[in-house]
Amino acid sequence: MPRPKNPRRVKFIPEITYFKPVGVPLAHLKEVNLNVDELEAVRLVDYDNKGQEESADKMGISQSTIQRILASARKKIAQGLILGQAIRVKGGEKNMVNNGNGRPGKGRGFGQGRGRGRKGGPLQAGPGGYCSCPNPECDYQEAHQPGKPCYQQVCPKCGSQLIRKREE
């Protein structure tokens, strides 16, 4: 049995965790899973223009490990873009370093203790709003029903997955 991986230090958890080609229903797409630690490595090296050694120090891993993580992440991103597959950011070995309020995180994962979900914020659950078809050629919308997520419903006109819209 292989030895368990050490958790990587991650400072950034994205709010948007799914990317897919426009106009293709999710049911027809294959999915590529990009781990949170892979996204963090890409963010540090490619987006923040930090060197591999500095990025490895920030994540608490060796330079050779970050090199392997980057190679894996870049291959998954290229596969998603070239083959038109959906890219989902999920999972991986991680420890939250800082959750935005200056205190270290507890490694609780997505949305925990960050003012989202039922506790409030832009992604809160609750009354109001409506489920709308994202297809610009389709104008279908219906009132949102609490307890029934919009993304689990399908547009009866065009078959696209519905999205939640808030009343402004």
Q: Average pLDDT, stretch 33-62?
A: 91
Q: What is the pLDDT of residues 8-30, one digit of tens each?
A: 788 877 788 888 888 888 888 89
Same-domain check for residues 33 and 87: yes
Using the predicted structure, report yes or no on whether residue 140 has a pLDDT greater than 50: yes
Q: What is the pLDDT of residues 88-112, one digit of tens each?
A: 988 765 555 554 444 444 444 444 4
Same-domain check for residues 90 and 24: yes
The whole domain housing 168 covers: 121-168
By three-state DSSP, how is residue 52 classified?
Answer: helix
Count: domains in the chain: 2
Q: Which residue has the tokens 């489920």?
A: 131
Same-domain check for residues 85 and 127: no
pLDDT category at 4 given cuts 50, 70, 90 is confident
pTM over 0.85: no
Rg (CA), the chain: 19
Question: Of 96, 113, 141, which residue sits at a domain end?
Answer: 96
